[in-house]
Structure 1
Amino acid sequence: MGSVKDIEVIEEPSSGSVGQAVFTFSDRYSVFDWGEMPEHIDDKGEALALMGAYTFERLERNGVKTHYLGLEEDGEIKNLENLETPSNKMHVKLVNVLEPEFKEESYDYSDYQNPPNDNYLVPLEIIYRNRIPIGSSARGRYSPADLGLEMNDWPNEAVSLNEPLLEASTKLEEQDRYVSDEEAGNMSGLSIRKIYEKAAKVNEIITERAEEIGMQHDDGKAEFLYIGGNIAVGDVAGTFDEDRFTFQGMQVSKEVLRQGYKKRQPEWVDEVKEAKEKAKKEGIRDWKDLVNTEPQTLGFEPLVSEMYRAGANKYVGRELFDVRKLSEIMDELKDTLEDSS
């Protein structure tokens, strides 16, 4: 499935009907699209599964279709409220994947113009942004004025937007890239306006939950499935890996790991960035072949594990993990990152 989730197929999808699968959320993590990193984050998989389940169930209650079926416990599929202990196994509907062919230094999406199936993965990720935090890629692609902000330069703090910014990115390419709305519509064969409407609703519901628990929802991403004429939310949403949240002025998300590498192994981060840029410029598919060094462990992964567990407790509204308060953990993480400077 990927660097952080495994998938077990229970029933394959056909051209006319969806199948079923189980996502197993692992304790692996990935930053900068590298894939599996050298250290794991204990209980991260269970924390993400719980957050994703909460988000999916809240979306469904608000009329947003998803592929979520429930969490597994003792061989049974349950809703979050019926779960007795944390679970890292999520049952979902499974659809076909129409892999675009890479030829002549580009990807061919012609299958999406006349799909052979009535259920398939939409080949896009939709990124929604409510704030522009430190570390956001948007800072390199937009000036504050581009986003209607009355400032000349990006400050050394998060900046709230007047309206959420929605952007489309590729999903099935070796290196994700942002695409225009026109290209996104052509690639997927669907109305990008309707996809954006779904993404905006996902963003709204996650933002609402964040505000209820004293967090700010900075940004995130959503993926979608086409099922028999309907667009449903797929993969997982509203977790500390898919979205960035701020609590007491500090980001509660995978971003703490990204910042850790920027401070403790900046040479590797720079090499990854340069490799991606070169691959994009020269039409090279496997950019990681251009990176000569390997990432090392950060040393504060146990503290990040506590962040995931305490944050999940707060988000789902249940004390499913025995862990310190999130405020105490974030204070220690802040000191750890500052010591790395």
Structure 2
Amino acid sequence: MMPVLHSTKNLEIIEPPTATREGVGVFEYTDNYTVFHYGRMPDLIPGKGEAICRMAVFNFTMLEAAGVPTHFRRFIAPNRIEFDLARVPDAGPLALDAGNYLVPVQLLFRNELPQGSSVHRRLAAGALTPAALGLRGIPAIGEKLRHPLIEYATMLEDVNRFIGGPEAQRLAGLSDEQFQAMRDTTVKVNEVLTGHARELGLSHSDGKVEFLVSSDAGIVLADSPGTPDESRLLFNGVHCGKQVLRNWYVDNGLEVPVSKLIAEGLPRSRWPQPAPLPPEFLPVMSDLYRSLSETWTGERLWNAPDLPAATQAVTRLISQ
């Protein structure tokens, strides 16, 4: 049962999955963060892992109460969850009769278009049109969409790419009924998470969800929906997650050009090392993650500042 590196989480395989039976896995949520598809960045944000884990547990419980099937099994305090483990498929389209696998396609939902949304970049590059968003012209930063936009993207590639529905269904190996169920579940997840955010005074601007196909061909929600690692949450216009850190790297010309490095065929061992964050970022981000988690779950564990104070500290930090 060796731990396996899994982005900001460590994966421990307790019981391997088979073609006919789900396995059992444990995610350990770490204090790492990732940006730019680089993988783990140099710094640790104290308390981030537990804050994210507790939000994930809360969301799985809330979504299951709303009728959404999930892979969640139990919470292992303070920063681990046990879950049903599916097989990771090989590259290429899947057979329609395959079972018990991680769907190699992620679904993204967008309710508004804040700073940092890839939509603005894709519109500027001509890779997306306003009409595809149901808009008459180029949207403003922060513009709210009349109806949520659902998009598809690959999930297991070095740098994931946006794809259309037909290609997503082909890669996922899903029947028409399964594919529609996956989309319908995404809409439901967005409704539940956005409604909860609204009650707390937060904006749930966008997010992504992942799924697995169970051994009985059911569509099951996976990963960590609605956490700031998977969703873009804002309070009074201030990002409550890694967009704060991404902006610092971009504003200071320190973004790691991962897509360019991959296109050039440069081995990962020769990629440049990202610059560390200024040390003053770490306590502010620690407070932000803990404050968001306490606000979201209603648990008071760390005596963190309230969300207005935590986001004001972020604003002061980035204005220096």
When normalised by structure 1's length, the TM-score is 0.84
- Amino acid aligned to 2:135: L
Report 1:278-289 matches (<5 A).
279=262, 284=265, 288=268
Q: Residues 335 and 145 (structure 1 numbering): CA distance in 2 closer, same or farther, change over 3 Å?
A: farther
1:109-142 deviation per Cα after TM superposition (whole angstroms, max 9, x unaligned)? 3xx1255x52110001111100101111011223
- In 2: Cα distance, 1:254 partner to 1:167 partner: 21
Q: 2:95 — aligned with what?
A: 113
1:138-159 deviation per Cα after TM superposition (whole angstroms, max 9, x unaligned)? 1122354542335x4443x311
- In 2: Cα distance, 1:183 partner to 1:289 partner: 32
Does 2:115 match 1:134?
Answer: yes
- In 1: Cα distance, 2:293 partner to 2:313 partner: 18
When normalised by structure 2's length, the TM-score is 0.90
Q: 1:298 — aligned with what?
A: 278
Please state whether the residue corresponding to 1:50 is helix, strand or coil. helix
Count of matched residue positions in the alignment of Structure 1 and Structure 2: 306
Offset of residue 19 of structure 1? 1.1
Q: Residues 201 and 235 of structure 2 are in contact (CA less than 8 Å); yes or no, is this contact kept in structure 1?
A: yes
- In 2: Cα distance, 1:291 partner to 1:179 partner: 27
Choose which of 308, 327, 330 in structure 1 pairs with 2:311: 330
1:230-280 deviation per Cα after TM superposition (whole angstroms, max 9, x unaligned)? 10001111101110111112111221111121123x1x31x51xx515745
Offset of residue 3 of structure 1? 2.4
Choose which of 218, 229, 233 in structure 1 pairs with 2:205: 218
Offset of residue 196 of structure 1? 1.2
- In 2: Cα distance, 1:338 partner to 1:317 partner: 30
Q: Residues 276 and 287 of structure 1 are in contact (CA less than 8 Å); yes or no, is this contact kept in structure 2?
A: no
- Residue identity over aligned pairs, in percent, reads 32
Report 1:187-226 matches (<5 A).
187-190=171-174, 191=176, 192-226=179-213
Q: 1:77 — aligned with what?
A: none
Offset of residue 338 of structure 1? 1.7
- In 2: Cα distance, 1:313 partner to 1:139 partner: 31
The unaligned stretches of length 5 or more in structure 2 are 124-128
Report 1:227-306 matches (<5 A).
227=214, 228-264=216-252, 266=253, 268-269=254-255, 271-272=256-257, 275-277=258-260, 279=262, 284=265, 288=268, 291-292=271-272, 294-299=274-279, 300-306=281-287
Q: Residues 261 and 271 of structure 2 are in contact (CA less than 8 Å); yes or no, is this contact kept in structure 1?
A: no
Q: Residues 212 and 13 (structure 1 numbering): CA distance in 2 closer, same or farther, change over 3 Å?
A: same
Q: 1:148 — aligned with what?
A: 134
Q: Residues 41 and 274 of structure 2 are in contact (CA less than 8 Å); yes or no, is this contact kept in structure 1?
A: no
Offset of residue 194 of structure 1? 2.4
- In 2: Cα distance, 1:232 partner to 1:92 partner: 11
Q: Residues 210 and 221 of structure 2 are in contact (CA less than 8 Å); yes or no, is this contact kept in structure 1?
A: yes
Report 1:28-39 matches (<5 A).
28-39=32-43
CA RMSD across the alignment: 1.9
Q: Residues 287 and 169 (structure 1 numbering): CA distance in 2 closer, same or farther, change over 3 Å?
A: farther
Does 2:72 match 1:89?
Answer: no
- Amino acid aligned to 1:276: S
Q: Residues 124 and 287 (structure 1 numbering): CA distance in 2 closer, same or farther, change over 3 Å?
A: farther
Q: 1:83 — aligned with what?
A: none
Q: Residues 125 and 170 of structure 1 are in contact (CA less than 8 Å); yes or no, is this contact kept in structure 2?
A: yes
Offset of residue 294 of structure 1? 2.9
1:293-335 deviation per Cα after TM superposition (whole angstroms, max 9, x unaligned)? 5333233121101000000000011212221111111111112
Q: Residues 234 and 287 (structure 1 numbering): CA distance in 2 closer, same or farther, change over 3 Å?
A: farther
- Amino acid aligned to 1:248: N
Q: 1:125 — aligned with what?
A: 106
